[in-house]
Structure formats: structure tokens, C-alpha cells
Amino acid sequence: MKIGVIGGGQLGRMLALAGTPLGMSFAFLDPAPDACAAALGEHLRADYNDQAHLRQLADEVDLVTFEFESVPAETVAFLSQFVPVFPSAESLRVARDRLFEKTLFQNLSIPTPAFADIQSQAGLEAAVANIGLPAVLKTRTLGYDGKGQKVLRSGADVEGTFAELGSVPCLLEGFVPFTGEVSLVAVRGRDGETRFYPLVHNTHENGILRLSVASDAHPLQALAEEYAGRVLEHLGYVGVLAFEFFEVDGGLKANEIAPRVHNSGHWTIEGAECSQFENHLRAVAGLPLGSTAKVGESAMVNFIGEVPPVAQVAAVADCHLHHYGKAFKAGRKVGHATLRCSDSDTLKKRIVQVQALV
């Protein structure tokens, strides 16, 4: 089976690493000359709206999937005429726009921060008067890793901020005084079979994920699954869908969803029976899903900007390095390490050892 992937970054690369043993081959559509997934499949180097290359991709592959959500809606609509596309155009439409995803949470009675659609500076000021400060202003689309957002703490922060974010449609959210951030990676097959990985506790710095630790029997696991299940069923979703939640007052508030494999699920390559990458491919290909059970205690440390010398990472026991083969650049995700240990005390020691290399 040949899989077409829109986007050729590290998520595409890890999909190919998981799918190759299943007998799958891959073609990646990505305009970047140095797309790091290209080493593991065919690289169609073209813009996402280049219809000639989209048609070529559709003709060559059995189905198309995505490794990022900011794909233009027209691209998905065009491809869908010729080849099965998973997740669906509707799932992407909702997940790529913060207003649509928060509205969906609200409609499905999933707690989420107070929010308002912002189309102008005057609209921002009116919404601040309503929601109050602190608050967070985010561009509705295309934001990632803390880009395209600003925390507003005082009146001075509000002045000129709509223009600062590019005068594009934005969402104002009430600031959530969370006690923790957790994510749930879910997978739903073409036949509706659904599985969930254990909740992961995430630590961000400057909006970028730094550390994910997979939990054991988290008290909020059932609640997170309940919320996620509502979204999966509503969308008739196929593939991996990641949910980011704030932990607040002993409950959860949904922050966002990502319609793809997710950075907080990278630990599953070594830390779960079947990784999020393999399960995404199983789901879109109509295969039975694999077990999402944890194997030992796991954590993932992101390498941002640069990967420490390989020999140093390799010297840490229980450590698995994933070097994405990307050029090093400040703020860019260029690799990660998964630590998988038999007990949580050892895991804590290993996390400190790897973080000391960063």
C-alpha cells in the first residue's frame, strides 16, 4: 500500500519509519527542498495548492493523510475527488481554526476557556471588557509552538495588539490558572473502533513542548476519554487525534485538538505496544488497531534548536535518540529522546541526565 502524506517534516518521517515494516511505501508533498521525510520516501516538491502535483500524488497512492493541519481547505477538497483522504476535510476544517474547535467543544458540553472571535482592535477591547484580564489573544489559524499568540495582562498589553498579531482573525481566551497541562492521544479506525493512550503530562517553555511524561492510571483518564470520545464520534473521525487539556480545579478544560500524530505522543514509539504512528496508519488504512497499552515508564525530552552530540545521548541508559536530520535553528524541533525504564524513580533520574545535555 502506498500512502501519500501532505507535509514532509519529522511527523511524516516517523510515519514512514512505522509504516515501512507494514509493507507500506510513502510519497510526501512538501515545497521545502530539505523536507526531512524525503529520506524515507518519494518527495513531490510542490506547493500545497499545486493541482498538477496534487493530481500526480492522488494517482500514485492508495490514500492521502496529513502531518500538519494548516493545509488549505481547497487542497483537501481537490484531493478528495480522486483518492480517499483521512482525516476528512470536515475534521481538518474544524481542527485548523481555533474558533471552530472551541465552538465544537462548547456544543459538545466539553469545558473550555471563555472565548470570543476577534476581527478588529475595537472588537478586542470590547471582548477584554467582557472576558477580563489576564487573557490570551491567539491567531485563529496557523499558530504553533506559541507563535501567533500573546498573553494580555494589563490595559497596556491590549493597545495595538490586534495589529501586532497581523490584523488577522483572532480568538481571545480567558487565561486559565491551570495546575498542569495534559494531553490525550486518541485513535479511531474506519470502522469506528476507538482507543486511547494513557494521559501524558506536558511541560512547555515559551509555548514549546519540552517534556512529556506518560502517566499511570491518571485520575482524569476516564474524563479525558469521555470528552475525546464525543469529538471523535461527532466528526466520524479516522486516524490519530490529539487533545490538549488544562488541569484546573480537579477537572479538565479543553485547549485544542490536533488532527494528526502529536509531539506529546512520540514516547509511544518505545513506550507503548503500538506507537501513535503505526496506529494512525492502521486507522487510515482500515486495519485493526494496535494496543495502546504502556510498556514500562516513559518520558520524552524534546531537542529544540540542536541535538546534543549523539555519543552523549547514547551514553544515557534507557535512552532512545530520534534525530530528525533537520538543519539546526533556534526554536526549531530537531530531535527528541524517549526514556523508557522499569520504574518511575529511574525514569526521573534519566530525565535529569538527558536534560543536562540540552
Q: Which of 67, 97, 101, 181 binds ligand AMP (CB under 6 A)?
A: 181
Q: Is 325 in the site for ligand AMP (CB under 6 A)?
A: no
- The answer to whether 253 and 109 have CB atoms below 8 angstroms apart is no
Q: Is 113 in the site for ligand AMP (CB under 6 A)?
A: yes
Nearest distance in Å: CB 134, ligand AMP: 8
Nearest distance in Å: CB 69, ligand AMP: 12
- How far is the C-alpha of 322 from the C-alpha of 30, rounded, in Å? 21
Is 12 annotated as a binding-site member?
A: no
CA 228 to chain centre: 14
Q: What is the CA angle 203-205-209, rounded to 5? A: 55
Is 175 annotated as a binding-site member?
A: yes
Which residue lies nearer to ligand AMP by CB, 144 or 328?
144
Place of cell 519540552: 210
Is 334 annotated as a binding-site member?
A: no
Nearest distance in Å: CB 162, ligand AMP: 18
Sequence-distant (≥ 6) Cβ neighbours of residue 211 within 8 angstroms: 202, 203, 299, 300, 301, 302, 351, 355
- How far is the C-alpha of 111 from the C-alpha of 27, rounded, in Å? 39
Nearest alpha carbon to residue 65 among 88, 49, 93: 88
Place of cell 465552538: 103
Q: Which of 11, 172, 176, 238 binds ligand AMP (CB under 6 A)?
A: 176
- How far is the C-alpha of 241 from the C-alpha of 157, rounded, in Å? 34
Q: Is 146 in the site for ligand AMP (CB under 6 A)?
A: yes
Q: Is 84 in the site for ligand AMP (CB under 6 A)?
A: no
Which residue lies nearer to ligand AMP by CB, 173 or 318?
173
Q: Is 69 in the site for ligand AMP (CB under 6 A)?
A: no
Is 138 annotated as a binding-site member?
A: yes
Q: Is 55 in the site for ligand AMP (CB under 6 A)?
A: no
Q: Which pairs from 34-37 meet CB under 8 Å and 24+ separation?
A: 34/326, 34/327, 35/8, 35/9, 36/8, 36/9, 36/10, 36/324, 36/325, 36/326, 37/5, 37/7, 37/8, 37/9, 37/10, 37/12, 37/13, 37/67
Restricted to residues 196-225, the positions that interact with ligand AMP (CB under 6 A) are 204, 207
Q: Which of 256, 278, 297, 318 binds ligand AMP (CB under 6 A)?
A: 256
- The answer to whether 163 and 121 have CB atoms below 8 angstroms apart is yes
Q: Is 247 in the site for ligand AMP (CB under 6 A)?
A: no
Q: Is 259 in the site for ligand AMP (CB under 6 A)?
A: no
- The answer to whether 271 and 340 have CB atoms below 8 angstroms apart is yes
Q: Is 143 in the site for ligand AMP (CB under 6 A)?
A: yes
Nearest distance in Å: CB 322, ligand AMP: 22
Restricted to residues 155-174, the positions that interact with ligand AMP (CB under 6 A) are 173
Q: How many helices (H) and strands (E) does the chain have?
A: 13, 17
Q: Is 255 in the site for ligand AMP (CB under 6 A)?
A: yes
- The answer to whether 265 and 279 have CB atoms below 8 angstroms apart is no
Which residue lies nearer to ligand AMP by CB, 79 or 128?
128
Which residue lies nearer to ligand AMP by CB, 135 or 274?
135
* DSSP H or E run through 124: helix 121-131
Residues that bind ligand AMP (CB under 6 A): 113, 136, 143, 146, 173, 175-176, 181, 204, 207, 244, 255-256
As annotated, the binding site includes 98, 138, 143-149, 173-176, 181, 204, 255-256
User: Which residues carry a binding-site annotation for ATP?
Assistant: 98, 138, 143-149, 173-176, 181, 204, 255-256
